[in-house]
Amino acid sequence: MLNAEVEDWERVVRDLAASDWVVEFSTTHPRGGELLSSGAPEVFAALEQSGEDSATLAVRVGDIWFTAYFFDPSEIEFTFDPRDVVDESGFAAVEGFMKRVGNACGKRVVMTMESSTDHAGLPALLEYRP
């Protein structure tokens, strides 16, 4: 999701945590999981202050892991291995995940190819608008 705000991160994190999916948060910050329970704004503030720590949110839907890194509050980007999508249930997991994220913050969600360039300029492979 592009043009995100910290509040969008907060809504997405809280919604995913309330789901039946496996949700794992990890960080190199000394306050660890305490950060996420404080909220996404606290995670970004702590990471910005330390300058060296990192934080990751991983969600398993079916057999597919979706992973987000708390790099930039203006972009909520989850990665997954497309080789894990081998049948209809795998595609349903991707589609369900995209819908859940979009519905959580009421914003457009786009899947693009993995790239080190600006995602805004890449064509959408899948798109969901709540």
Number of domains comprising the chain: 1
Specify if 67 maps to a domain.
yes
Specify if 1 maps to a domain.
no
Is the pLDDT score of 119 beyond 60? no
Is the pLDDT score of 123 beyond 90? no
**Residues contacting 113, CB < 8 A, separation 6+:** 122, 125
Pull the structure tokens for residue 101. 């994220």
Between 46 and 103, the more confident residue is 103
Most confident of 2-6, 9-13, 27-31: 9-13
At residue 28, the pLDDT reads: 87
Specify if 70 maps to a domain.
yes
Rounded to an integer, the average pLDDT of 63-86 is: 93
Mean pLDDT of the chain: 88
Residue with the two structure tokens 């660890």: 32
Structural domain boundaries, residue 54:
6-128
Alpha carbon distance, N-terminus to C-terminus of the chain: 12
Amino acid at site 66: F
DSSP state of 25: E
